[in-house]
Structure 1
Amino acid sequence: MNKTHSVSRPAQLTRPQGSETVRRASRMLAWALLGLLLFGLNIALAEFAHHAGLVTYVFTRTLLWSVLPYLFAFVLLHRSLHLPAMEGNSLVGLATTLPFAALLFIFAAFHLEYSRGALLLSYVTTLGWIWFGYRRFVRNYVPVFGYTDAATLAQLEQILAMPGAAPASPTRFQPISSLDEAVHCDGLMLDRNATADPERTRVLAQFKLSHVRMYSVERIGEMLTGRVGLAHIDENFLDDYAAHYFYSFAKRLIDLAAVLCMAPLALPLGLVVAVAIRLESTGPALFRQGRVGLFGKPFTMFKFRSMAFDAGAPAQFAARRDPRVTRVGRVIRKYRLDEIPQLWNVLAGDMSLIGPRPEQVPMVDEFAHTIAYYPYRHLVRPGLSGWAQVQQGYVGTHEETVTKLSYDLYYVKHCSFALDLLIGVKTLRTLLTGYGAR
């Protein structure tokens, strides 16, 4: 975290006032509209090539169809601007690929003629245009936040410095003593728990009337890290959870459809894993364990056994290079093949594909008494993969569990289809690389 001192600037050089999020969205919107000229050029060249007999009319028509996923890609990216900018590459790839995949599905479902070359050209053009615009206007931009009280920096440091956490997005901070200095910042960082006094209230009102965006320390921490600050959490930060009713219903339907689609691959792969486990060691291939699910309700979770069989083993963290893990177990844990049976838990409604990982009942009982706000993670259905898993991996200590909770509560607070899709993409990376396995 870099700190800078403010420098007076002439009034005519004052940057546009208002939210930096709005400014970023406006820049990306202008970039999207400019990109339509590029599509127009491609269509004009395609029409010229058609008259010259180089391509068919289907090529031009496919380019025209591709304008829709191009625009929808920018909509998806706009909806995900609240996520940390360090996730930019994943967001751009996701926002571009999904709309074009949907268009390809429509072509196949309705038996419409299309040009693979034109579709590929449109996809590559969209991906390059969005990637360049995002890096120029969003990811490479280092925001500057002002502050009036140095104590807010100390509070922010507590949020940023957590064991096992991913690094925060680059940001600069500078002290603010006047309105002229404040309007040159992207926002003002404040301690919302600070004692109010008439002078402070008048100053903040002046900032607000000048369209200076003001953020709490906790909100700045969320924007930079993708975590919720537990030391200064607000008791009412989940008041808007009820607004996610439609999202929860639609997500459940998606879970069911996804499991049914994966079943033809998961069943034979699971059979191979089960046979390998039985050939290497004695004991059942399937492992059952009590976990805590939605609203704190316990359920039985299924996994393929990856450790030596011990019916009386107590609940404990998995250590790095854990000696209990078998040779087959190391492979299936690395690539998460041990979690294939949990697709049944998803089908039964105990779990979702995306959500906080369910913990063992004894651990939940312990953490509920030792870690404040721990039960809040049970406000959403647990998942096969979650925000904490793709950002942090497995945890092995009480301190890392606190960090994990900060990621889980960020998901509970900001759960959305955009965040779920981002987690899905990062989970695929985990499956391919074995990141975070123990």
Structure 2
Amino acid sequence: MKDTFNRRHSRWYERLIFSELFYLVAGLVVATVPPAFIRWGTASYELIRTSEVHFNTFVACGFAFFGVFLILRRFKNYPGAHTLSYILPSVAISYLLVVAVLFMTREGYARSVLLASFALTNLWCFVGFYLSRRYRTPKLALVPFGRTLDLTAGDEAVLNLLDTPALEGRRYDAVVADLHSDDLPPEWERFLARCVLARIPVYNTRQVQESLSGRVRVNHLSENEFGALLPSPVYDFCKRVMDIALVLLTVPVWLPVMLITGVIIKLESPGPMFFIQERIGQGSRAFKVYKLRSMCKDSEKDGAQFAAANDMRVTRVGRVIRKTRIDELPQFINVLKGEMSLIGPRPEQKTFVERFEKEIPFYTYRHVVKPGITGWAQVVHGYAANADDTRVKIEHDFYYIKHFSLWLDILIIFRTIRTILTGFGAR
């Protein structure tokens, strides 16, 4: 019986690996062979073998698709990233990076072939998305003990609660159990051991809960993938370098927009162009944050308060720049000064920080990284209007700190662009 169990479920695992390899290999063929054949015809093989330009183009198409495969595969690890909206930006970034390398190395290439490869890669990814959505939505078997009972279903996965310690011939992508529960009977422990032997992944409830919700509960601190509470210092340094480079490279774009908007603000209502306020940043250190003024003068003369929906203190220009996030542009100055990053938890006012430190466990932990202009909590949850909303946003902040990485930052950039276009979370 055990051998039959192992053989049956091992085949599921092998099919999963095979589908990933097929998607990669077939995608590489689609992204390289048809574009070359369309442009160069039956002489494609000979031209690629003998001509440097043709060879460079063929290899560039392959590398570009492999980059797309890596980006989309990593995005699958994060909740809410299983949507069509991330395919085109991912493909565009990968192909632009390849073109940038070719440009900097002054290597010749055929633009028409790269464009055809770009179009076919998008088509392949869209087809793969629809097939995956139809046939590859993860099916998780839940062991009915401990915190596993608190899991709720969503678009990310199909959850089935087991009645007995057996899968009864049904296909599951993984088994979820509260591995720290004292209520787990011996027969269920043996069942989990058989699942592992059968190459069926067994996940702890906390890990799955975080993956489905994009939040880390605030009643405990959770280590990152390296087993530490401190985010990667190597990526922290690289992130700082990228922040400075991106801000300086985009000065010709954001500086004129900021100054023109500032003049319009001055013309519409009395008061300064900038709104300067003390916030708490990395290491719980206070700093002055800069924003374009979106409210009437002396809007907080009675003390700090949350912005409400349809807040009467917001000016007409203020409503526009808040919705489009133009009011955040002066914070690029904070980034250059090293007080903020482009991506990270939003910095809070000192009054709120002192209050939340008393009400929310481990609130101070969010100050382990630099605050950001945009962040995971902003693009997933939106604006926090009260203490309860803030508690949820803190859980998103903890998730960001735990998964502090380039891939998550790229995903946040994509979602930030969508947020700007839709006005999600603006007040």
Q: Normalised by the shorter chain, which TM-score bucket?
A: 0.7 to 0.9
CA contact (8 A) 2:140 2:172 kept: yes
Aligned to 2:202: 214
User: 3-state SS of the aligned residue for 1:40?
Assistant: helix
**Higher RCO structure (Cα 8 Å, ≥6 apart):** 1
Secondary structure of the residue aligned to 1:107 is helix
2:358 equivalent in structure 1:
369
1:307 partner SS: coil
Q: Tell me the residue number matched to 2:264.
A: 276
Q: Whole-Å Cα distance in 1 between the matches of residues 364 and 15 of structure 2?
A: 37
SS at match of 1:283: coil
Aligned: 1:34 with 2:26:
yes
Instruction: Render the CA deviation track for 1:337-391: whole Å, top value 9, x for unaligned.
Output: 1111100001111111111111111111111111122222112211110111111
Are 2:398 and 1:405 equivalent residues in the alignment? Answer: no
| Counterpart among 412, 415, 418 of residue 429 in structure 1 | 418
- Find the aligned partners of 2:109 and 2:172 in 1 and give their Cα distance: 49
Instruction: Report the alpha carbon displacement of residue 190 of structure 1 after superposing the two structures with TM.
Output: 1.6
| Contact kept? 1:69, 1:103, Cα under 8 Å | yes
Structure-2 separation of matches of 1:320 and 1:243: 35
1:46 aligns to what?
A: 39
Structure 1 residues 182 and 309, CA, compared in 2 at 3 Å: closer, same or farther?
farther
What amino acid does structure 2 have at the position aligned with 1:364?
Answer: V
Alignment of 1:280-429 (within 5 A): 280-310=268-298, 312-429=301-418
Q: Determine the structure 2 residue equivalent to 1:3.
A: none
Q: What letter corresponds to residue 254 of structure 1 in structure 2?
A: M
For 2:134 and 2:233, locate their aligned partners in 1 and report how far apart those are by CA, in whole Å.
Answer: 32
Counterpart CA distance in 2 for 1:237 and 1:64 is 36
| Paired letter, 1:213 | P
Please list, as runs of the form range in 1=range in 2, the aligned pairs for 1:179-194 lying within 5 A after superposition. 179-181=166-168, 184-194=171-181
Q: Secondary structure at the match of 1:317?
A: coil
TM-score normalised to the size of structure 1?
Answer: 0.85
Task: For 2:22, give the aligned amino acid.
Answer: A
Distance 2:21 2:347 in 1: 40
Of the candidates 208, 225, 232, which is equivalent to residue 244 of structure 1?
232
Q: Is the 8 A contact 1:286 1:302 kept in 2?
A: yes
> C-alpha displacement at 1:435, in angstroms?
1.9
2:189 and 2:208 mapped to 1: Cα distance? Answer: 21
In 2, Cα distance between the equivalents of 1:94 and 1:308?
Answer: 38
* Distance in structure 2 (CA, Å) of the matches to 1:224 and 1:17: 26
SS at match of 2:336: helix
Unaligned runs of 5+ in 1: 1-9, 52-56, 161-166
- Cα RMSD (Å) of the superposition? 2.9
**Cα pair 1:218 1:229 within 8 Å, conserved:** no
SS in 2 for 1:84: coil
Structure 1 residue 404, shift from structure 2 partner: 1.0
CA shift for structure 1 position 253: 0.6
Return the alpha-carbon distance in structure 2 between the equivalents of residues 339 and 262 of structure 1.
14
* Partners of 1:289 and 1:301 within 8 A in 2: yes
Mean Cα displacement is larger for which, 239-248 or 336-345? 239-248
Aligned residues: 413
Match of 2:118 among 123, 130, 133: 123
Q: Distance in 1 between matches of 2:43 and 2:406?
A: 40
Q: Go from structure 1 to structure 2 and tell me whether the alpha carbon gap of 1:286 and 1:64 turns closer, same or farther (over 3 Å shift).
A: same
Moved more, 65-74 or 239-248: 239-248
Give the counterpart letter for 1:194 in structure 2. S
For 2:57, what is the secondary structure of its paired residue?
helix
User: Relative to structure 2, which stretch is displaced further, 145-154 or 68-77?
Assistant: 145-154
**C-alpha deviation, 1:196, in angstroms:** 5.9
1:68 aligned onto 2:68: no
Question: Residue in 2 aligned with 1:136?
Answer: 131
Tell me by how many angstroms 1:23 deviates.
6.7
SS of the residue aligned with 2:342? strand
Identity %: 34
Change (3 A) 1:205 1:48: closer
Which whole-Å CA distance do the structure 2 matches of 1:240 and 1:77 have between them? 26
- Give 3-state SS (helix, strand or coil) of 1:66's partner: helix
Taking a change above 3 Å as real, the CA distance of residues 11 and 384 of structure 1, as seen in their structure-2 partners, is: same
Residue of structure 1 equivalent to 2:8: 14
Q: Counterpart of 2:423 in structure 1: which amino acid? A: G
Equivalent position SS for 1:14? helix
1:103-148 CA distance string (max 9 Å, x none): 2222333444333322211111112212322432367623222223
State the 1:309 CA deviation.
1.2
Q: Distance in 1 between matches of 2:169 and 2:221?
A: 26
CA contact (8 A) 1:144 1:174 kept: no
8 Å CA contact 1:226–1:410 kept in 2: the answer is yes
Matched residue SS, 2:378: helix
Code of the aligned partner of 1:186 = D
Deviation for aligned residue 1:298: 1.6
Aligned to 1:437, the other structure's residue is in SS state coil
Q: Secondary structure at the match of 2:78?
A: coil
Unaligned runs of 5+ in 2: 45-50
Q: CA, structure 1 residues 154+96, in 2 after alignment: closer, same or farther (shift >3 Å)?
A: same
